[in-house]
Amino acid sequence: MKWEVVIGLETHVQLKTNSKIFSSSSTRYGALPNTQANEVDMALPGSLPVLNRQAVAHAIRLGLAIGAEIAPRSVFARKNYFYPDLPKNYQISQYEIPVVLGGSINCLVGDEMRSFALTRAHLEEDAGKSLHDNFVGPDGKPCSGIDLNRAGTPLLEIVSEPDMRSATEAVAYAKALHALVTWLGICDGNMQEGSFRIDANVSVRPEGQTEFGTRTETKNVNSFRFLERAILFEVQRQIELIEDGGTVVQETRLYDADRDETRSMRSKEDAHDYRYFPDPDLPPLVIDAAWIEEVRADMPELPGQMRDRFVTEMGLTPTDAAQLCQDPALAQYFEAVAKQLPAEQGKLAANWLMGEMSAALNRDDIGLDDAPIKPDHLAKLLTRIIDGTVSNKIARDVFAHMWSTDDKDADAVIEAKGLKQISDSGAIGAMVDEVIANHDSIVQEYRAGKQKAFNSLVGQVMKLAKGKANPAQVNELLKSRLDG
Amino acid sequence: MSRFLDDFPTIAAYRAGLDQGQFSVTQATDALLSDIQTHRALNAFVDTDAKRSLAQATEAQAQLATEQSHLLTGVPLAHKDIFVTEGWRTTAGSRMLANYVSPFDATVVAALNKAGTVSLGKVSCDEFAMGSGNEHALTGPVLNPWDHDVVPGGSSGGSAAAVAARLVLGATGTDTGGSVRQPAALCGICGIKPTYGVASRFGMIAYASSLDQAGVMATNADDLALLLDAISGYDSRDATSVQTCHGAANAPGRILGEYNALGQQYAGDKPLAGLRIGIPKEYFGDGLNTDVARVIEAALTQFEALGATRVEISLPNTAYAIPAYYVIAPAEASSNLARFDGVRYGHRTNQYNDLQDMTERSRAEGFGDEVRKRIMIGTYVLSHGYYDAYYLQAQRVRRLIAQGFQTAFADQCDVIMGPVSPTVAPAIGSVSNDATAEWLGDIYTLSVNLAGLPGLSIPCGFAPGHKGQDLPVGLQLIGNYFDEGRLLAVAKQFQQVTDWHERRPGVAA
């Protein structure tokens, strides 16, 4: 039987705000336990939550970016359950009326542009953390500890429709969403620190069946690679289960990266009755048109808009444009370089960024912001390729020199190292003649019809020219002398 | 045995004594702490701390001579033990918080501290403010100063008893379903609960967030106006506090300004001419004790003598206030009280098997019967499958009740009057074991909280208690939103021609 996979993702995006969603405590990551928890975060008697408007502005920002409806009036509810790292023993979240409704994420899957619909996005607070490993209590004995630094960190839970049909699509969606929230500046995107956490709802059904199969929810997926593996594992598990005559149980599962498997956390039967009701401590969240316009005025150009512009104005392929637009820093860098080049040379800039630049960044393990070569430096180097001063190959040497030294001016490097391309046809002609004279056997091979021999002769000329001869001219002159 | 405040029964008289150098704040504080000791049988105070009180007294004395001096500087108060206080224990009348000390002051307490008042201690209340007789308290029942066999009312029973016994000039209280007005009535003093959102809830241990509101208690309208004005104001730490009241900033000065302006306006022998008093017929039905009804009727006649006119009105959903309240309040309480789990503070059981067991036992041991009952009811009405039938339905009733008041205020009356409680104070132990009886006693006060309106209780006479003894009766004045100043000004006119507010219980300890 052929199976169809159905996937929906719920993503918890930690919003980049200075203070928590309902208290004035700092949200900085990595502080000593419980040093960033005030009376609200600790749920001391008499404390009350007050909504952080920055978190709301971030939600509006996302809503505008995905073409969603921003609810003019949304409601915070209490989700009641007892857990020691949840100090109030209820989580403040949005339940019936979320702040963002609908919208979609557009992204490339392979070479095809796809659109995945979103159900909603709602604001809520994060819980604290339970510390079980290597934790010692005041009496010196091992015990569990609670760190409330994370408690109350603002989250935007973004829920997709069950629109994805493969792990590849799910990963493409997740990457695009990750790129978008970091692009918008509403999330730092740090998956290791839990700033972007994905839960995958996965089910399978026989191809052609319209109703959904029973789904499982896999939690704790903190990288795109794990997302893919968790889905693949879960799909395989469900198919094998059904084919062996079993049935899938609706449950929450945990992905274990060490074992590369998902395993059951709790079934639906164990599910809490959360007793949601509107939080009487918080009036409904009212967002008027003025607030939306204020956020809109402050929005950066969206990756989709920029991608389209790169294709139409700079002649990039949709794939290259999409790749550049995954990261706002990369896209901005590209634009800063490309606008100093002739319009048709966008492709050259894109190739250099995704090739040489990307390799150098990876090698040194640094981000684009820390790259020693700035857009103006690179633009000048590329200009010298375009005007024929240096070949692409020589330019790579210049780039390497600029990268590792304080010499950032391409012209000065070319001049100082004598790398200027030889485009004088007299000089090149002389070298061609010398090579033909000295490599008679190769010339014979070429004349006998071996095309490879021609490349060998080109190589000899370039060797003689120390790589500086204009390759096109070498080709042309060599061909005319041999064939002429 | 005479009490210090017998000679200085009002804030004005007390301040005059201070200003004329008859005594210092420290001397007054000393004397009052001694009166509190003498009357400890009332069981009104749960915590006193002479050192702290005297330190505040010294500061107040110094403040009197500065520009920071406030009309309340040096005035002795007591705080309901539901307001968290830095330094003083805050127990909420519960074993759960028997040893809890808050690292911060409630906004209301901080405001009164800033004004220079002297706190003489924390006063008893029903556990987490759930109760109408102050019998559900960790430290045992509080006695009514008028008769030690009857309850002082609740849940702000300690506040009412302390003021009635003239141990303090005023006290803070909280009113979720009548917890300021009802004990004020039963103890023969005045108590006001402002419009929801006028006073900050920050630092008030939450019972039912959408209904809870801080209030104040004192012996007369002038003192209430001073105290209420001082605790009013927008608080950025309480998202439900209001920034403006009919366009005026919610800040100290608003209530007192209106109170004083109306005081000027209400002149002549018919000072209340033109004032229409709405009398809800539902407040005078079968449940109302006939003696209480007679006293209320006499008070209303007195208001007519002052020039006001009576208009019969109807608040048709009054009867549904009880079921609506006893769904909404427990629902919110069940969630508000979830934080008391023995993990971070408060009572933790000695022996337990695992985490869940620890939380369950800590809560079972830490909470009293009434609190446990309301948590269970609240949990039930919010449960899947019951939410619509109970919680949502109760919210609909709540809206209808609020609309009923608005209909009355729109074109029928300016203020509504009626009884606070259907009876005078019952004997200790007579109702606390009968939940329905205790809950039915709240019928005239609950609607005000459900609608979020201001409500005032003033003493207006006496009616026979269970042994035939004279016990105080309170008259309730209900105003439209933000009408606190007017309610108090109207009450002031009544107090200028009557002396019920000057009556005090005997001094027998």
Mean pLDDT of B4-26: 96
List the one residue out of B209, B212, B123 whose CA is nearest residue B163: B123
pLDDT given at position A337: 95
The answer to which of A436-450, B284-298, B476-490 has the lowest mean pLDDT is A436-450
pLDDT digits 0-9 by tens, A385-406: 998 888 888 899 999 999 999 9
B273 contact A CB<8A: no
Chain A residues inside the 8 Å CB shell of B105: none
Check CB contact of B127 with chain A, cutoff 8 Å. no
pLDDT at B498: 97
Decide if A50 touches B, using CB distance below 8 A: yes
Task: Give me the mean pLDDT over the B99-128 stretch.
Answer: 98
Tell how strand B276-280 and strand B248-249 pair up.
unpaired
**Contacting residues of A for B202, CB less than 8 Å apart:** 46-48
One-character DSSP codes across B321-386: HHHHHHHHHHHHHHHHGGG-SSSSSS---S--SSHHHHHHHHHHHHS-HHHHHHHHHHHHHTSTTT
Express each pLDDT in B275-316 by its tens digit: 999 999 999 998 899 999 999 999 999 999 999 999 999 999
| Binary contact (A273, B343; C-beta < 8 A) | no
Q: What is the mean pLDDT of residues A196-219?
A: 95
Residue whose pair of structure tokens reads 């512009």 in the numeric block: A309
**Confidence class of residue A56 from pLDDT cuts 50, 70 and 90?**
very high
User: What one-character DSSP code corresponds to residue B31?
Assistant: H
Q: How confident is the model at residue B509 (pLDDT cuts 50, 70, 90)?
A: very low
What count of other Cβ atoms lies within 10 Å of the Cβ of residue B393? Answer: 16
The distance of A373 to chain B (nearest Cα, Å) reads 49
Per annotation, catalytic residue among B102, B119, B156, B179: B179
Contacts from A391-399 at CB under 8 Å and sequence distance 24+? A391/A421, A391/A467, A391/A468, A391/A470, A391/A471, A393/A467, A394/A419, A394/A421, A394/A467, A394/A468, A396/A356, A399/A356, A399/A360, A399/A373
The pLDDT tens digits for B426-453 are 999 987 667 677 778 899 999 999 999 9
Q: Which residue reads 């159905």 in tokens?
A: A6
**A87 inside 8 A of chain B by CB:** yes
A45, closest residue in chain B (CA to CA): B205
Backbone angles phi, psi at B215, to 5 degrees: -145, 180
B209 touches chain A (CB under 8 A): yes
pLDDT at B508: 44
pLDDT at A476: 87
Q: Does B394 touch chain A (CB under 8 A)?
A: no
Amino acid at B392: L
Q: What is the mean pLDDT of residues B445-463?
A: 98
Cβ within 8 Å, pair B103-A39: yes
Q: Shortest Cα distance from B192 to chain A (angstroms)?
A: 21
pLDDT in tens, B380-411: 999 999 999 999 999 999 999 999 999 999 99
Query: Helix/strand/coil (H, E, C) string of A121-176?
Result: EEEEECCCEEECCCCECCCCCECCEEECCCCCCEEEEEEECCCECCHHHHHHHHHH
Poorest-confidence range of A52-56, A179-183, B128-132, B438-442?
Answer: B438-442
Q: Do A275 and B379 touch (CB under 8 A)?
A: yes
Task: Chain B: give the shortest CA distance to residue A58, in Å.
Answer: 20
Which site among A34, A40, A41, A44 would you substitute to test the B interface, given the most B Cβ atoms closer than 10 Å to its Cβ? A44
B241 as an active site residue: the answer is no
Reply yes or no on whether B467 is catalytic.
no
Q: How far is A40 from chain B (nearest CA, A)?
A: 10
Sign of the Cα pseudo-torsion (A98, A102, A108, A109, in order): positive
Residues of B whose CB is below 8 A from A271: none
Q: Is the pLDDT of residue B484 over 60?
A: yes
pLDDT band at A424 (very low <50, low <70, confident <90, very high): confident
Q: What is the mean pLDDT of residues A49-71?
A: 98
Is position B80 annotated as part of the catalytic site? Answer: yes
Q: Is A138 on the interface with B (CB under 8 A)?
A: no
**Domains of chain B, CATH where assigned:** 4-261 (3.90.1300.10)
Contact A44 B201 (CB under 8 A): no
Q: One-letter amino acid identity for A131?
A: L
In the three-class reduction of DSSP (H, G, I as helix; E, B as strand; rest coil), residue A236 is classed as helix
**Annotated catalytic residue, options B53, B80, B232, B457:** B80
Start-end of H helices in B206-246: 221-231
Please tell me the least confidently modeled range out of A260-274, B299-313, B487-501: A260-274
B53, B94, B119, B155: the catalytic one is B155
Min Cα distance B263 → chain A (Å) is 35
Which region, left, alpha or beta, applies to residue B399 given φ > 0 means left and ψ of -120 to 50 means alpha?
alpha
Stretch B176-182: mean pLDDT: 98
Strands (E), B22-66: 45-47
> Which residues in chain A are contacts of B387 at CB distance < 8 A?
275, 277
Which domains, ranges and CATH numbers included, belong to chain A? 3-294 (no CATH), 301-416 (no CATH), 425-483 (1.10.10.410)
Structure tokens that stand for B307 in this block = 């020039």
B108 phi and psi angles, rounded to 5 deg: -60, -45
Whether A87 sits inside 8 A of B339 (CB atoms) is yes
Model confidence at A451, pLDDT cuts 50, 70, 90, reads: confident
Q: Is the minimum CB–CB distance between A89 and chain B shorter than 8 Å? A: yes
Q: Which pLDDT score is estimated for B1?
A: 65
Q: Which residue has the tokens 């995958």?
A: A200
Q: Is residue A334 within 8 Å of A353, Cβ to Cβ?
A: yes
CB contact (8 A) between residue B237 and residue A48:
yes
Q: Are A101 and A68 in contact, with CB atoms under 8 Å apart? A: yes
